């Protein structure tokens, strides 16, 4: 296993927006928060669960150019299957927990 960080890891791309709450060899729990106007550069996630702590609209642009706007309610939990790669425009302040499953 390499000690070189993945350049697309959210902790590398957006260290000021992301905090590791706990981690082991199978899972990593992140707190992510961003302010309206923040731009989160190209990054990737493994399969994960998202739990919304503060509602806020965000616009995601996938590698193929597909744009999706997300505005889930506080208390919403959802699963993102597979690997996702995107950029993110934060349209309103947002805070959530990301539970990432390692390969």
Per-residue confidence band for 2, with pLDDT thresholds at 50, 70 and 90 = low
Domain 10-101 fold is: Jelly Rolls (2.60.120)
pLDDT tens-digit series, residues 27-84: 999 999 999 999 999 999 999 999 999 999 999 999 999 999 999 999 999 999 999 9
For the chain, which residues make up each domain, given as ranges?
10-101
What string of H, E and C letters represents the secondary structure of 45-76? ECCEEEEEEECCCEEEEECCCCEEEECCCCCC
Per-residue confidence band for 1, with pLDDT thresholds at 50, 70 and 90 = low
């Amino acid at each position: 296993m390499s000690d070189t960080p993945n350049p697309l890891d959210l902790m590398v791309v957006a260290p000021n927006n992301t905090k590791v709450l706990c981690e082991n060899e199978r899972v990593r729990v992140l707190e992510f928060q961003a302010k309206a106007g923040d731009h989160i550069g190209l990054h990737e996630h493994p399969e994960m669960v998202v739990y919304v702590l503060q509602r806020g609209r965000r616009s995601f642009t996938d590698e193929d150019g597909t744009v999706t706007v997300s505005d889930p309610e506080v208390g919403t939990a959802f699963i993102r299957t597979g690997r996702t790669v995107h950029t993110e425009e934060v349209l309103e302040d947002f805070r959530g927990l990301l539970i990432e499953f390692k390969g």
